[in-house]
Structure 1
Amino acid sequence: MSYRTPVSSSPGPLALIIGTIFPALVILIELLTGLCANAFFDPMPTLAHVLLVASVPLINFFLWRAAQREEAPKAALIILGGAAMSIAAGYALVFLPILPIALVAIIFFGFGLLPFAPLGSLIVAIRLTNRLTDWIEHSGRRIAAGVMIGIAALVAVDVPATATYLAVGWWHGDPTSQQRAATTMRLIGDRDILFRLGSGDTGRAPGILSFIASGWQSGGFGAPQDSSTAARELYYRVTGTPFNAVDPSIVRAAARRNGMFDWDADQGGTSVGGRIDDLALTGSRIDGSISSADSLAYLEWTGTVSNRGDQQREARLTLALPEGAVASRATLWINGEPREASIGGRAETRAAYTAVVQRSRDPLLVTTDGAGRLLVQAFPIGPNASMQFRIGLSAPLIIARDGSRSISLPAIVERNFNIAADQPHNVWVEGDSPIATTAALRPSILEGKAGVTGTISDADYARARPQLHITPITSPSLRSGTIPAAGKQPAIIVTQRIERVAATSPGALAIVVDGSVGNKSAADALATTLDTLPRGLPVSLRIAAERPATVPLAPWSSAQRDLVQKALSDNGFAGGQDNIPAVSDAIAETSAANAKLLWIHGPQPVKFDRSSARLDQMLERSTALPRLVRYQATAGAAITEEGQPWFETARFVSPTADPARDLRGLLEDIAQSGTIWRVTRTAEAAGTAPSGSIHIARLWAASEATQALNGKEAPRKAAILLARQANVVTPISGAVVLEADANYKENGLAIPDPEAVPTIPEPHEWALLAIIAAFLAWLWRRHRPFGSTFTQALA
């Protein structure tokens, strides 16, 4: 039964403004700008949160309209009023800790009203609902029912966020706790919120339940300790996807972050870190020259990264090199002019880079990132500006058993900037003999020389890393390269010998397979290539998974092959797995002389500290370690130990689009006996071999410098001097470009000599001149009758 008690007056426009218009505007502003999401926490990380919050001003509007009409409302409206009260109260409590900050902002800066919207909505909802109870019987019960519904809705939409914050906290615990964290995230966690926590979010929870959970774990109102690192590790464990392989713009919980408060926590560090949405690759070209006579190439990758944001940014990337390659040039364009890098000790070049970054000047830093990879850092890229830099590489041709030769082009495998799928990579590679390729390139005659050219989109480049094929080698080769004298250091003559030698099978082969979802295609390919292994070779298998699988070391046979294939087919390949325990176990089991460890893995962006202690101990104390060979079919980060020779001297095989073909050739190469083409480089007092490219000597110098990793201070200093003389980046040396000569002197670095760096055309000009001379001679012979007639006419 409805009834009516006279009311003093209808609600005025102020109630409509405070309860409906103001909170609606606040929601719209937050959705468009992410002000609160950037400065404090994200109150609406999911669509469910948006709908829940938006329901409050909508309900207040219906309450206000009913009160204006002074008519008996429907009973359901009273229930909705109760729900609006509990929802607004929940958000008012969440915003309570920052209300004092907002009040100060209003007084001193003129803004800060936004956090007061839930409180205003709550007051209006209470007053309007109370006014309408005059028309509804048993209105108290209906209000209580609405409050309970609102609380249930608050809890329901906040369960995934609560589970996420609890999981991040559990990740800091023991292995059982970490497994509970991963399971919770997979079942009910919110991966977008987890990604945002990894992006450097403050960690404040969006709702009452998650706010209480995160506050309880952190002992206050802050985020769980080190939530960014834990969130990145947990994200990889749950999804199997490297954190920085995800475009933030497609993750709703991270997309509303804008540049005003978006601090790059990885700036100036030693890792690529998370993506910066304002940065993008806008130019890429690969130039090169191949010498079949020297069986090597010189390649240059030139990239341009642009910043569309309103603050300075640092570009960071990992560049995967051709197998066996070494960086021998680094160039940064400053004020439109190219400036070359100075080579110095790894620590010295990083210290110089860090010091200049702090002053927001123009540095470029290039260091190794494990075998076959470079970490490149460039800063600052100004607002609405670009930065261009170049990396030069000295690279040997890979010679197969049958004499065929090939080289893979360098590729960006990890970066903190975006690359559009259709972003072109422009390729121009010349040679002194025909070059073939399976990629979207075409053989051409380039400026009178054989070569390949073309444009490849980034999507195609990432899917099928281009590989060039050069005419096979058919006979032994002897060449030499010379590093010029520098100061008190005399010139160094290096002789390169390529000869046919007998190879023996390794004493044992341990195979470690990453059980992560990103490695499934490579694992499937391995299962089809096992017949390549020779009978009798001791072989073991370990699969790094949540339920690890092991096939103990035993002579290769049909039975052993069946066990390996069954283990591979039974594994689920889920999430991202910690490979270090399996690698450690494989080292412990493989003690035979000349043993090899083949590690087939996907992206490995996380070093799990809990499992690293045993591996570190084994690498430091073991006297007989198997040779490490790595194969990674999918682009991404690769775990390494800086300064650890076992990782730094590993063979890192360049993948193609066909893992089965890659692994078949790799297993044949590392496991079978027979004859192979062996390349050796040695320094000699006087060279008698035909003169070749300086890159022969650079490849030797890089290898020699790396050998000093375990040496004392004197050998390391000598190795740094050698790397500087040869102009190569090694595990003990780095390359840095600074803005002015005075910056080099301040940091104790040599001022770079632009004349001492390699350039295109390379590897050596005389071979190219010979090609041109032969071409001109051919033209002269072809047109000689015409030439004779013309000469006679002049006479």
Structure 2
Amino acid sequence: MSRQTIPLKIIRKRFNDEIYCTGLILLAVTLIMFLIPALSPIEDELTWFFLNHAITVGYFLTLWISGRLRRGREGLHPFFLFLLMFLVSAYALNRLFPVFEVSAPWFAVMIILCAVNYFAFAFIRVVPVPVRIVMFFLLGLSLCCFLYMAIYVAPFTALGLLAFFFFGISLHALVPLLFFLYTIRLFRRSNARRRPYKLAFWSGIGITVLIVLVYTILWMMNVVEMGREYRRWSEKVRDTYLPAWLHVAAHITPNPVTGKVLRAEMVYTTADGWERPFFNFGSSLNWNEARKHDPLVMIASTLCGTTMMTDEDRIHILKFLYDSRYEAEERLWSGDDLTTTHVQTSARIWPRLRMAYTEKTVNVKNNRIITERGRWRNNQEAIYIFHLPEGAVVSSLSLWINNKEEKGLLTTKAKADSAYKTIVGVENRDPSVVHWQEGNTVTVRVFPVLDNEERQFKLGITAPLSLEHGALIYRNIYFDGPVTSSTGEDVEISFETPPADLQKGGIFSKEKDGRLTASGPYSADWQLSFKDEGLVHQLFSANGKVFSVTPYRKELATADISDVYLDVNSVWSKNEYNTVLSLLGHKRVWVYIDEMMEQVTEQNRSELFKQAAASRFSLFPFFKISQPSTAIVISKGVVNSPSVDDLENTRFMDALKGWLAGGQHVMLYNLGGELSPYLRTLKECRTFRYDQGDIAALKALLDAHRFPASIENDQRIVIESAGMTINETPGTEVSTAPDHLQRLFAYNHIMHAMGPRLLTGGNESDTLVAEAAESYIVTPLSSLVVLEKQEDYDRFNIKESNNSLKNASLKSKGAVPEPHEWALIVIGLLLIVYLKFRPVLFKRVAAI
């Protein structure tokens, strides 16, 4: 018989085997039934499990009755089809009684590969030798996987044997053990004596053991490092400004293993926390991430333990080190089944005013389906965190209720928060609210998003453009929120005047009227750029005030600097450090290390840099500056670092608030990069005389003994990123600019006027609250809220302001007519009436 006919004969033999073909069909059916609840989440998962289980039992009985399980009846490959059905049934049961949490993605892929490999072994004589070697390698890997799973479910195996009489359901605990035993048998029956195949099989086992060993060592190193640093600073708790977890975060290196060490027990199943799925259905932790099962984490944590830090401390680190503030956001209701289905971005750009207004219309859906009558509806809360450009402000909010767009009303933050929490927490009805947060972010909350239903809200943002190297940049306003992996996005951007030298990227198409449009998957990271043609003189007038823009020009003032403080961290290079030191001459230079201010000398300069640069980020203690008026701090920002909010209830924050309350100001020079959240918040509080640039620009300032002065006051605010100032003057003029000019001025003026009170607290200024209400903007003092009924607004004393800009819009400027404009309108209407009815009046007069 020729070699070419052997594979065909084997294939025909397999597919002429009725029991084997029946197994293939039933396996496909069980997979489909398993996937139906996964693709369309429903509550009635018990029925689907019993269907899977019934098919599995039926096929096993078929094998038994037909005698295929006897020795010499070639029943091994049909038996593996039964085992694969049994595995599918076990995972279906796991949805109802979670012995295993949701598998880590890599482990889920591995189980699928192993399952496909078991099926392929029925045709091993057909495939080429290199493929066979891969199959034996995967077989060795499969042996390790199912050995692990057998050990993991070992506590339930005895129970499975004792309770087998209950429809055999408990026997699912034996599935991993059966796979382990029959994998050994399959290896022995499949030409395992040939050296290449044996080598491949044992290589699969060896590689698996090596991976587990390396991962365990990395895990141990992280646990030991965290524990050492945590113990060191915990012992000094009475003498330190910062908590121990902050010192740990400053000295660990973020990587996948570190992240899992921090999430262990909270997210990843461990030996110490295996009982949580059974006895802790509602977690009190403020961490919103689905629990997962990762065998590497389980093995490593069992052998080496977990970090000694508390859950609260680990959450603090995860929030900023892994950019996970969204997961740590306070929730009144779950949002586990929510996905973002669509985003509509509409923007209007004024190139010659360096500003834009953007509306984000977001659709969010609850993918859970209720099929049983009388079941409670699964209300869920949608939370979005929008990241705004510096100086930007939210100026409109809408929520669709009963398919009708309902506009938000502006009120104080306290009233909006009280209304939202009362209605959501107690009455379960429709509200939405948007709150200001530190660090150029706002939080939008929408409730309820019901089972298999979709909600829609719209957020409007007034923002300055970014001026960079002679070009204006419009960046997409992105958000953190429910899953966006399958989200679609439509974008439409229009310009008040045609932009020059437009760089629009490949996703945009240009329409005949100059609009830019794009449609496709949602992307958080896109931008437009065009040439800056300078500011034009345009005005917006309302309520006896005129707002106008002018270019920002730094006004240098004398700077008598005696002390220089270097805020050194891991983003500094040794060359930068040495170059800066060479510029400072005989000035006193200080570096902050381990909560001590050390003066730099020729003898210690290298050692001080080594210690300071070992810290991933820095939190400079401005309260330790002895003479702020003659001091300058030179810094470089680290984006993934703590915010002021993370420092609440620490001695560091108490000391900083005391320093800020004294009205202290210091010069801060940023050598490059985005400011850290901590420094950005202090900059918002107008704590600094601020400037940024390279070392050459710093040298010029030091040589001239000058530094930019703060030129903001009640009539002028600076938007540094846009290179412009907005001025307010009394008077009345015809408006030629959009009302967004007033909104930007009001927001930045309120931030300037509040200054350190943003952090230190104090009584709210009625004047500033009124300014926010007049401009209809979200600030630390004000929020936008949408409630379901007018009675709800009345109950919480939330009223519409009659003398305000109202919600911003793409279609109107929102100007409030001035008294003289009202007079002109009235005169115009009277003139129209006179001209229309003049013939009739003349006829009546003539008749008289």
TM-score bracket for the superposition, by shorter chain length: 0.5 to 0.7
Contact 2:222 2:261 in 1 (8 A): no
Aligned to 2:437: 369
Contact 1:282 1:423 in 2 (8 A): yes
Unaligned runs of 5+ in 2: 1-68, 123-137, 190-200, 232-247, 269-286, 370-378, 718-726, 822-848
Contact 1:301 1:410 in 2 (8 A): no
Shift in Å at residue 430 of structure 1? 1.6
Aligned to 1:504: 557
Distance across 2 between alignment mates of 1:92 and 1:148: 20
In percent, how many aligned pairs have the same letter?
Answer: 15
Any idea what the Cα deviations from partners look like across 1:109-155, whole Å, max 9, x if unmatched?
996664431244467789x79x99xxxxxxxxxxxxxx999997875
The verdict on how the C-alpha distance between 1:735 and 1:617 changes in structure 2, with shifts beyond 3 A counting, is same
Distance across 2 between alignment mates of 1:639 and 1:224: 28
Contact 2:542 2:815 in 1 (8 A): no
Aligned to 2:516: 454
Distance across 2 between alignment mates of 1:611 and 1:666: 37
Contact 1:406 1:468 in 2 (8 A): yes
Shift in Å at residue 639 of structure 1? 3.3
Residue 286 of structure 1, aligned match among 335, 342, 347: 347
Task: Please give the residue correspondences for 1:189-208 in structure 2 after superposition, counting only pairs within 5 Å.
Answer: 197=268, 200-202=289-291, 206=295
Shift in Å at residue 94 of structure 1? 1.0
In the alignment, structure 1 residue 715 sits paired with structure 2 residue 715: no
Q: How many residues align?
A: 655
Aligned to 1:418: 484
In the alignment, structure 1 residue 616 sits paired with structure 2 residue 616: no
Secondary structure, aligned partner of 1:750:
coil
Aligned to 1:515: 570
Secondary structure, aligned partner of 2:784:
strand
In the alignment, structure 1 residue 242 sits paired with structure 2 residue 323: yes
TM-score normalised per structure 2: 0.56
Distance across 2 between alignment mates of 1:589 and 1:392: 44
Residue 210 of structure 1, aligned match among 277, 289, 298: 298
Secondary structure, aligned partner of 1:213:
helix
Secondary structure, aligned partner of 1:365:
strand
Moved more, 671-680 or 153-162: 671-680
Contact 2:632 2:668 in 1 (8 A): no
Residue 779 of structure 2, aligned match among 730, 739, 752: 730
Task: Please give the residue correspondences for 1:705-784 in structure 2 after superposition, counting only pairs within 5 Å.
Answer: 707=754, 709=758, 714-716=763-765, 719-750=768-799, 756-759=806-809, 760-762=811-813, 764=815
Contact 2:395 2:807 in 1 (8 A): yes
Distance across 2 between alignment mates of 1:206 and 1:738: 47
Contact 2:778 2:784 in 1 (8 A): yes
Task: Please give the residue correspondences for 1:207-606 in structure 2 after superposition, counting only pairs within 5 Å.
Answer: 210-211=298-299, 213-214=301-302, 217=305, 230=314, 233=317, 242=323, 266=329, 268=331, 278-288=339-349, 297=355, 299-307=357-365, 309-310=367-368, 315-358=382-425, 361-381=429-449, 386-395=454-463, 408=474, 411-412=477-478, 414-418=480-484, 423=489, 425-430=491-496, 435-436=499-500, 438-440=502-504, 453-455=515-517, 462=525, 464=527, 466=529, 469-472=532-535, 481-482=542-543, 493=545, 502-504=555-557, 512=567, 515=570, 578-581=616-619, 583-584=620-621, 588=625, 591-593=628-630, 595=632, 599-604=636-641
The verdict on how the C-alpha distance between 1:100 and 1:538 changes in structure 2, with shifts beyond 3 A counting, is farther
Shift in Å at residue 307 of structure 1? 3.7
Distance across 2 between alignment mates of 1:318 and 1:763: 27
Any idea what the Cα deviations from partners look like across 1:219-264, whole Å, max 9, x if unmatched?
xxxx987669738946975xxx63589xxxxxxxxxxxxxxxxxx7
Aligned to 1:25: 85
Q: Which letter maps to 1:681? A: Q
Q: Which letter maps to 1:373? A: T
The verdict on how the C-alpha distance between 1:414 and 1:23 changes in structure 2, with shifts beyond 3 A counting, is same
Distance across 2 between alignment mates of 1:731 and 1:609: 17
Aligned to 2:750: 704
Distance across 2 between alignment mates of 1:280 and 1:156: 42
Shift in Å at residue 727 of structure 1? 1.8
Unaligned runs of 5+ in 1: 1-8, 63-79, 133-146, 246-263, 483-491, 555-562, 771-795
Aligned to 2:730: 687
The verdict on how the C-alpha distance between 1:527 and 1:97 changes in structure 2, with shifts beyond 3 A counting, is same
Shift in Å at residue 616 of structure 1? 1.4
Contact 1:366 1:736 in 2 (8 A): yes
Q: Which letter maps to 2:295? A: P
Contact 1:316 1:416 in 2 (8 A): yes
Shift in Å at residue 376 of structure 1? 3.2
Shift in Å at residue 299 of structure 1? 1.2
Task: Please give the residue correspondences for 1:101-250 in structure 2 after superposition, counting only pairs within 5 Å.
Answer: 114-121=172-179, 156-159=210-213, 162=216, 173-175=227-229, 178=248, 182=252, 197=268, 200-202=289-291, 206=295, 210-211=298-299, 213-214=301-302, 217=305, 230=314, 233=317, 242=323
Q: Which letter maps to 1:368? A: W
TM-score normalised per structure 1: 0.59
Distance across 1 between alignment mates of 2:215 and 2:502: 48
The verdict on how the C-alpha distance between 1:590 and 1:473 changes in structure 2, with shifts beyond 3 A counting, is farther
Secondary structure, aligned partner of 1:762:
coil
In the alignment, structure 1 residue 41 sits paired with structure 2 residue 101: yes
Distance across 2 between alignment mates of 1:717 and 1:50: 62
Shift in Å at residue 388 of structure 1? 3.8
Secondary structure, aligned partner of 1:504:
strand
Q: Which letter maps to 1:619? A: L
Shift in Å at residue 373 of structure 1? 3.2
Distance across 2 between alignment mates of 1:424 and 1:376: 21
Q: Which letter maps to 1:758? A: A
Distance across 2 between alignment mates of 1:181 and 1:698: 42
Distance across 2 between alignment mates of 1:398 and 1:49: 44
Distance across 1 between alignment mates of 2:166 and 2:685: 56
Task: Please give the residue correspondences for 1:622-633 in structure 2 after superposition, counting only pairs within 5 Å.
Answer: 622=659, 623=662, 624-626=664-666
Shift in Å at residue 352 of structure 1? 3.4
After superposition, the CA RMSD in angstroms is 7.1
Distance across 2 between alignment mates of 1:652 and 1:205: 50
Shift in Å at residue 286 of structure 1? 1.4
Secondary structure, aligned partner of 2:153:
helix
Secondary structure, aligned partner of 1:175:
helix
Secondary structure, aligned partner of 1:268:
coil
Distance across 1 between alignment mates of 2:645 and 2:760: 28
Q: Which letter maps to 2:788? A: E
Q: Which letter maps to 2:617? A: N
Contact 2:103 2:293 in 1 (8 A): no
The verdict on how the C-alpha distance between 1:673 and 1:628 changes in structure 2, with shifts beyond 3 A counting, is closer
Distance across 1 between alignment mates of 2:669 and 2:622: 16
The verdict on how the C-alpha distance between 1:715 and 1:244 changes in structure 2, with shifts beyond 3 A counting, is closer
The verdict on how the C-alpha distance between 1:422 and 1:33 changes in structure 2, with shifts beyond 3 A counting, is farther
Secondary structure, aligned partner of 2:525:
helix
Contact 2:341 2:488 in 1 (8 A): no
Distance across 2 between alignment mates of 1:87 and 1:445: 56
Distance across 2 between alignment mates of 1:184 and 1:678: 40
Any idea what the Cα deviations from partners look like across 1:397-454, whole Å, max 9, x if unmatched?
7899x9x9967456216555437899553211325xx65465318999998xxxx742
Secondary structure, aligned partner of 1:462:
coil
